[in-house]
Amino acid sequence: MDRYAGLAKIYDYLVAGVDFEGWIDYLEQILRCFNHTPDKILDLACGTGNTTLPLVKRGYRAAGLDVAPEMLQIARQKAGKAGLDINFTAADMRSFCLDEQFALITCFHDGLNYLTEDTDLRQCFERVNEHLVPGGLFVFDLNAVLWLAGTAPGTAMLDEKDITMCWESSYRPGGPCWEIKLTAFVREGEIYHKFTETHRERGYTPDEVQAAMSRAGLKLLAVYDAFTFNPVHPGSRRHFYVAGKPPV
């Protein structure tokens, strides 16, 4: 089973408490800081559309891209229900190739942490550079290295009417990856379907991110402690980055 196929069934349940409208509010603050008004946006690792849909509802022309067809199926259903015309593409953000460029590319909710090799990150940044118009921006977040390393390992369980989940998390001391093994029983009608998936995230330091950007032809413009305009610090849980494609 694809590692996102089971997660897609419960993803919106898991992130029900996330203020995605607040994420787009913050994005718009960043855009105002850089005096940038994008006409077209590409939302990478868009999942079930939780950041793509708010963009379109605010009047932006936005498209979504994700590696998991199961996630995109739900995104399309949500867009259709809301009466929104959004193009969702199933593709790997390390190798996608579209026939258009965008004034803004985004990647939110630690989507880039799922790229666990230096070459993965560089390849993604190269594709971003290829798909940005000159002077375009790339705005994304990453879970911080120290936050991932400080996440307490162990096993936890959630038991509710329609979902029972057990997850075991671990972090390799001195290593770059945090891992979570998720087993869930999800009710569909009178039947509970079981799935087991393993998810891994890698933390990157700002220096590592900047080096990958430079190799891909992007320029680091800013890095913030998430949802503020303050510099990142050892206690930062999440970093927000702003990169640009140099104008011609």
- 176-193 pLDDT, tens digit each: 688 888 898 988 888 888
Asked if the domains at 5-144+204-244 and 147-201 fall in one CATH topology, the answer is: no
* 3-state SS assignment for residue 82: coil
Distance CA 198, CA 176 (A): 16
Judge contact between 113 and 201, C-beta under 8 A. Answer: yes
> What is the reported pLDDT for 217?
98
Strands (E) across 118-237 are located at 132-143, 154-159, 163-171, 177-188, 191-202, 219-225
The predicted-structure confidence for 68-118, as pLDDT tens digits, reads as follows: 999 999 999 999 999 999 999 999 999 999 999 999 999 999 999 999 999
Q: Which fold has domain 5-144+204-244?
A: Rossmann fold (3.40.50)
Q: Where are the chain's structural domains?
A: 5-144+204-244, 147-201
- Helices 5-14 and 69-81 sit at what angle, rounded to 10 degrees? 40
The predicted-structure confidence for 131-173, as pLDDT tens digits, reads as follows: 999 999 999 999 998 777 666 677 888 888 888 989 888 887 6
Chain centroid to Cα 154, Å, comes to 25
Judge contact between 140 and 224, C-beta under 8 A. Answer: no
- According to DSSP, residue 197 is labeled E
* 3-state SS assignment for residue 148: helix
> What is the reported pLDDT for 1?
40
The predicted-structure confidence for 29-79, as pLDDT tens digits, reads as follows: 999 999 999 999 999 999 999 999 999 999 999 999 999 999 999 999 999
> What is the reported pLDDT for 155?
87
Note the residue count of the chain: 248
Judge contact between 28 and 49, C-beta under 8 A. Answer: no
- According to DSSP, residue 176 is labeled S
> What is the reported pLDDT for 13?
87
Q: Which fold has domain 147-201?
A: N-terminal domain of TfIIb (2.20.25)
**What would the two tokens of residue 152 be?**
């307490």
First to last CA, the chain: 45
